[in-house]
Amino acid sequence: MLRQLNVRDYEIHLLLGNNESERLKKQRVILNVSLRFSGDNGACHSDSLEDTVCYSKLLAFIDEKLKNARFNLIERAAEFLHDEISDYLNNGEILVRVKVVKFPYAIKNPDGVSFICSDW
């Protein structure tokens, strides 16, 4: 049985861009983070927060890690965030998937441009 926790459309602001002009001020970025539990997620049975990943604490961790971060590319931002979350969970039974969506000024695409870094 698949057990997965999804945080969708989490909005943050990052210094992100290949051009210096893009990095002058923080840009709106959307994050989607999925955690896939390879084993039994105890919270499904216990109904206890101690048996799962607290998404509030996870988002606070993400905010802290990205507070002063600077990236040229969304590829690097996704890889960085994936690795940081994986280390934070420190548990081989949870697979991590991170999607970073950027809304470049130069591209008239309301859906943005995205990059995914995933264990699956």
Q: Give the closest residue to 59 by CA, choosing from 78, 31, 94.
A: 31
Q: Over its length of 120 residues, how does the chain's per-residue pLDDT go in tens digits?
A: 889 999 999 999 999 999 888 888 899 999 999 999 977 788 888 999 998 999 999 999 999 999 999 999 999 999 999 999 999 998 778 999 999 999 987 677 678 999 999 999
State how many domains the chain has: 1
Domain extent at residue 109: 3-118
Instruction: Give the residue carrying structure tokens 């983070």.
Output: 33
Q: Judge whether 84 and 100 are in contact, CB under 8 Å.
A: no
The model carries a pTM of 0.92
Please report, for the domain that includes residue 49, its CATH number.
Answer: 3.30.1130.10
CB atoms within 10 A of CB 50: 8
List the structure tokens of 66.
């990205």
